[in-house]
């Protein structure tokens, strides 16, 4: 007969897993991906290194789970931004304004999640995030094209290009004191807002 965990044991393991994820989130925000080793996470969480490995096969899998939580919150934030009033081009620009402002509130973590060299499983999650973000943006571009407010264009292609460009553009402001003041005008130009259809 296989061993079954009691509810108390499961609750303790769940609490330990949450503590480990919280510790990893703190380290990622402070030190980035490179500084988020399993040993450092265990020390921050106040558990043995083996306890981290009980929950996660390795650092990459731990950060992937952490990344998924962050991504879900970021996608929800940009979806909320997309519901604000305004024409489709303005909503797309607002999506990126919100994304950039949120990233700049935790620049080390945002850099780790957007651009820092990472292991393959984390890079795969980045691709998923960009696709989801692209889909949110593409919906509004397509709406603008259908309404005649934006020039005819492939909404998915344009959204992909802008997501990639903004991800690259944010590297400077996340690692130095560069400004994001040109972000909104860039987005509007990239969409062709104000250009005759």
Instruction: Give the distance between the most distant pair of CA atoms in the chain.
Output: 73
Q: How would residue 1 be classed by pLDDT, with cut points 50, 70 and 90?
A: low
Rounded CA separation 173/127 (Å): 21
DSSP E strands: which ranges in the chain?
Answer: none
CATH number for domain 1-56, candidates 3.40.720, 1.10.10, 2.60.40, 3.40.50: 1.10.10
State pTM to two decimals. Answer: 0.85
Domain ranges in the chain are 1-56, 60-191
Contact 190, 161 (CB under 8 A): yes
Q: How would residue 197 be classed by pLDDT, with cut points 50, 70 and 90?
A: very low
Residues contacting 98, CB < 8 A, separation 6+: 77, 78, 80, 81
- For residue 65, the model assigns a pLDDT of 93
Mean pLDDT score, 9-22? 90
CATH of domain 60-191: 1.10.357.10
Name residue, tokens 């934006």: 150
């Amino acid at each position: 007969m296989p061993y079954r965990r009691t509810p108390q044991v499961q609750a303790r393991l769940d609490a330990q897993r949450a503590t480990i994820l919280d510790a990893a989130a703190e380290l990622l925000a402070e030190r980035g991906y490179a500084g988020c080793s399993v040993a450092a996470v265990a020390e921050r969480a106040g558990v043995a290194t083996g306890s981290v490995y009980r929950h996660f096969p390795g650092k990459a899998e731990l950060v992937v789970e952490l990344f998924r939580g962050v991504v879900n919150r970021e996608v929800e934030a940009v979806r909320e931004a997309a519901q604000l009033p305004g024409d489709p081009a303005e909503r797309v620009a607002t999506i990126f304004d919100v994304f950039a402002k949120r990233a700049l509130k935790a620049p080390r973590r945002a850099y780790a999640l957007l651009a820092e060299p990472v292991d393959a499983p984390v890079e795969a999650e980045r691709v998923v995030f960009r696709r989801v973000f692209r889909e949110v943006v593409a919906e509004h571009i397509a709406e603008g094209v259908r309404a005649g407010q934006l020039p005819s264009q492939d909404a998915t292609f344009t959204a992909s290009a802008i997501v990639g460009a903004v991800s690259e553009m944010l590297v400077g402001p996340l690692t130095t004191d560069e400004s994001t003041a040109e972000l909104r005008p860039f987005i509007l130009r990239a969409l062709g807002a104000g250009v005759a259809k």
